[in-house]
Chain A
Amino acid sequence: MVTYEVLQLIVFPGALFAICLAFLYEWVDRKLFARVQGRYGPLYTGPAGIMQPVADFLKLLSKEDIVPRACDANLFFAVPVMYATLPLATLFMMPIAAPEALIAFDGDLIFILFAFGMMTLIIFLAGWSSASRFSAIGSVRSALQMLSYEIPLGLVLVCPAIAAKSLSVSGIVQWQAANATLGAALQPIGLAVTMVCLLAELELVPFDIPEAETEIVAGWRTEFTGWRLALFRLGRDLEVLLVAALVASLYLGGAQPLWLIPATAMFVVKTAAVVMVFSFVRALFARLRIDQMISGMWKYLLPIAALQVVLVQIGVGV
């Protein structure tokens, strides 16, 4: 029985499945991004370029590992490891193969919010430890960005919890299954605000201010080479999967079987849809300035998020 549980954690629906799905979604994202721009995207690495993220990962693993003399060596080692493992650990709290997650407890939604905050803190430490001016600017921008999107995100993620009367992601999925409803149908404003905030969390294009290529080289990742960069890219892919899983679970019903279709397939379809929305937005928009982003988040998104909380509270009844 214990071996079965360990196998669940390591293979399916645990670490290995999550990593494969994360790589697959990077390919989906790059391919769709290319198609929107009228290109083919990755084509020759594996069938239709599906192995492209794997090739990138292996190549980076095989490259030289450079540690700049000025950097904080211990932190420089620890940061990529933390960045890759934190979203992987948080993914265990997402219901993937069944409406019940591998690790489900009352309050894991709060833990997930905490993990999002931690990711930004790790990014800040990454920029800090590499002692480069580009990294420093990138990490400060990342921290500034967090100050603006974290609050509307926190507000709006409370709404499904209020409606379902559960602070657990699995509980919210089960509540949606039990009432045959979707979070997206009940809280469309909440869904929109969540998507915008999570775009900022992932530092995708309208909000890729911390790694703006045209201004600050590669932002906080500038100094990282070899396996460190590989782990950062893996961590980013896992974070995309985590975010897609969160949206799918809270608003789209998550991993619940539909008629003959198993729960895992439903989960994959829903998360893929969220990833595709993200890559469409990435292809359609240009980068905002940091001041536009912060004032927009505080002036417009925060009141909208508060309005959603009020509406849910009215709907549930005091």
Chain B
Amino acid sequence: MVVNWARSGSPWLIHFNTGGCNGCDIEFVAAVTPVYDVERFGIKLQGSPRHADILAATGPVTSQIAQSLRRVYDQMPSPKFVVALGTCAVSGAPFRNCYSIQGGIDSVIPVDVYVPGCPPRPEAMIDGIAKLLQRIRGAKK
């Protein structure tokens, strides 16, 4: 109970681009600016995957980056969550059957929240993360 409260109260993010066009990344960076102030939820952007709880991944997974994505995910201490930001990260979108693309984020690592959009607005991203936090808080009540 207390642990769930603490986990949902202090989600630390790490951002990872798996080969996107940078559109989602710019929106993600906009979402952590003072305008949207995600620190209200206790969200902090971390540099090291060892410190992070939530992996915010953008872009379709290219064959080249798949291994790195897997490694970053493995370096995070559990319990860990993954948020797929943008249509490419959800399904691979226009690049779906491309020769160098494996598909969405969930073709490599398990995903908890999907935020579609090309790119999704910062509000949509924050909404997705807030829904994830709600689920963490409600877990095992």
Contact = CB atoms under 8 A, between A and B. Distances in A.
A222 B5 CA distance: 25
Interface string A101-131: 0000000000000000000000000000000
B6 A225 contact: no
Q: How large is the interface on A (under 10, 10 to 19, 20 to 34, 35 or more residues)?
A: 35 or more
A218 B40 contact: no
A55 B6 contact: yes
A236 interface: no
Contacts, number: 93
B138 interface: no
Interface in A45-79: 45, 49, 51-52, 54-59, 62-66
B127 interface: no
A40 B34 CA distance: 9
Contacts of A63: 53, 77-79
B51 interface: yes
Contacts of B3: 58-59, 62
A39 to B, nearest CB: 4
Contact of A44 (B41, B51, B78): B41
Given A59-B53, A225-B50, 9 more contacts: A42-B42, A52-B9, A55-B6, A55-B10, A58-B3, A63-B79, A64-B78, A66-B50, A229-B51
A270 interface: no
Contacts of A282: none
A65 to B, nearest CB: 7
Contacts of A55: 5-6, 9-10, 42
Interface of A: 30, 34, 37-45, 49, 51-52, 54-59, 62-66, 134, 213-214, 217-218, 221-226, 229
Nearest to A216: B47
B46 interface: yes
Given A65-B77, A66-B77, A56 B42 contact: yes
Q: Which secondary structure dominates chain A's binding surface?
A: loop
A217 B9 contact: no
A59 B34 contact: no
Q: How large is the interface on B (under 10, 10 to 19, 20 to 34, 35 or more residues)?
A: 20 to 34
Given A218-B48, A226-B77, A37 B34 contact: yes
Interface in B25-52: 34, 37, 39-42, 46-48, 50-51
Contacts of B77: 63-66, 225-226
A222 B50 contact: yes
A37 B9 CA distance: 22
Given A44-B40, A223-B50, A39 B6 contact: no
Contacts of B9: 44-45, 51-52, 55-56, 59
16 contacts: A42-B42, A44-B40, A52-B10, A55-B42, A56-B6, A56-B9, A62-B7, A63-B77, A63-B79, A66-B77, A218-B46, A218-B50, A218-B51, A222-B48, A223-B50, A225-B50
A41 B48 contact: no
B2 interface: yes
Contacts of A40: 37, 39-40
Contacts of B42: 42, 44-45, 49, 52, 55-56
Contacts of B50: 66, 218, 222-225, 229
Given A55-B5, A65-B77, A225 B51 contact: yes
Nearest to A66: B77
Nearest to A224: B50
